[in-house]
Amino acid sequence: MTAGPDALRPRLLSLLSSAALARAFTLTVFATVFGGFAVTAVAGAVTLATILAGLCVLGAAILFARRDEIELVRLAPTTLVLLVAWAAASVFWSSAPAAALTGWGQLAGIALLAVVIGHVRDALQTVRALGDVLRWLLGISLGLEVLSGILLDLPIPFLGIQGAIADLGPIQGLFGTRNALGFVTVIALITFLVEFRTQSVGVGVAIGSVVLGGVLAALSGSPTVVLVALATAVAALALWGVRRVPAERRRGVQVGLGVAVAVAVAGAYAARTALVAVLGAEDDLETRTRVWTHVIDIADIRPVQGFGWFGAWDPDAVPFALVNLADGTRHASALNAYLDVLLQLGWVGLLLFLALGGLGLARGWLVAGERRSVVHAWAPLTLIALLAVSLFESFTLTGPGWLLLALCAVRAGQSRSWRERLEQRMTQIGRPATDRSDLDGRGGHAPDAQGDAGHGG
């Protein structure tokens, strides 16, 4: 005798709210988004879109099943919601509404996946899942490069692999371009080092992972990866110092650190010509500067609202066709996430984007400076890498970059926000509220108990 719908409902809700499904969902999302280029190359863009759509439906079902442990007001940061809403509104004044709606669907869908992961996995579990996925993707990338460049001595055109590993690069792996591979390796190194410090993987696995990421970063030959890695390393050292300052002196140290960062940025800008010469990236910077000039000129036509959100460029749509026509080449982005947002969403969108990244970084940095577990350093260091690479590429607006930006913002928004202060105020006036000062956003659980102990799984 088959069970009726009323009998199946509790079982289904139990499955959707289970830890095993949450882990499998997180691994699948990371593998799909970070492996998006390879999935598209092998099976087509429709296949990738179908997988992501299915994950969004499953993610919404998981949130519904866990609705009792998730407060609506803490579901997503206000800046994330406003940015996605403004991108949706921009479809109405876009020159190609259908393409803009598709681009917005990708933006909103990946943001939803980030929200789900932020609520069903704690910080350490998120790092572990991302580390597992990146180990596989980087390992497969190295294997394919060796197969192409050494064993077969033939390129693999549909994956964009040129087979140049025998000449020490540049290589692309599963990510399409050397700059994309370089960006992924920086994220991977941050993740692997956090895994190592929290002892969440064995010493051999941790060291092997760091070596793998470092080798691929060097072989990518990406000039941007050097700057991004340097900025992230300096930030890691600064955070290490902040964590060792007594609590009563920490505020003054943070202010001094902010001033030092502003001076360093100004100095780097003043010495940009010398820095570029050291990196040997004069031609690369010349190309970017030319594109940026055209983008700014065309963005001035619609400075406030932009031309509508597309995400990755549609070369036949305005304004991207105008930029490519002015430059005489075919580009897939503005090679700068900030200018890309300015072109597509205007100054309103750019301010929302800066607020999303800036507030997420500030909150994450303060949390990492105060809490004992090293795992809390992952979010601010990842955000620094994202904001730094955004100066040279538009990775942060699509695919893995956007997933990480939204995820870090969600995790940072679960503490040190107006929501937390509202709960404290309600507690003071006698209304019940959960003390979440040391929670990472999984309902009433304290998800980082493992992370604070230095172990995980």
What pLDDT, in 10s, does the model give residues 177-211?
Answer: 999 999 999 999 999 999 999 988 999 999 999 99
pLDDT reading at 141 higher than 90: yes
Q: Is the pTM of the predicted complex or chain greater than 0.85? A: yes
The answer to whether 410 touches 114, Cβ cutoff 8 Å, is: yes
Q: Which amino acid is at 242?
A: V
Residue range 88-102, pLDDT digits in tens:
999 999 989 999 999
CA 145: distance to chain centroid?
Answer: 25
For residue 156, list its beta bridge partners. Answer: 161
Give the whole-angstrom CA distance, residue 345 versus residue 339: 10
Give the pLDDT score at 429. Answer: 61
Q: At what angle do helices 36-43 and 45-65 cross, to 10 degrees?
A: 130
What does the domain layout of the chain look like in residue ranges?
A: 248-433
Q: Which amino acid is at 443?
A: G
pLDDT cut 70: percent of the chain above it: 84
Give the whole-angstrom CA distance, residue 249 versus residue 76: 32
The answer to whether 312 touches 103, Cβ cutoff 8 Å, is: yes
269 vs 111, higher pLDDT: 111
What is the radius of gyration, based on Cα positions, of the chain?
22
Q: Which H or E run contains 12?
A: helix 5-16
| Cβ-based neighbour number of residue 304 at 10 Å | 9
The answer to whether 173 touches 106, Cβ cutoff 8 Å, is: no
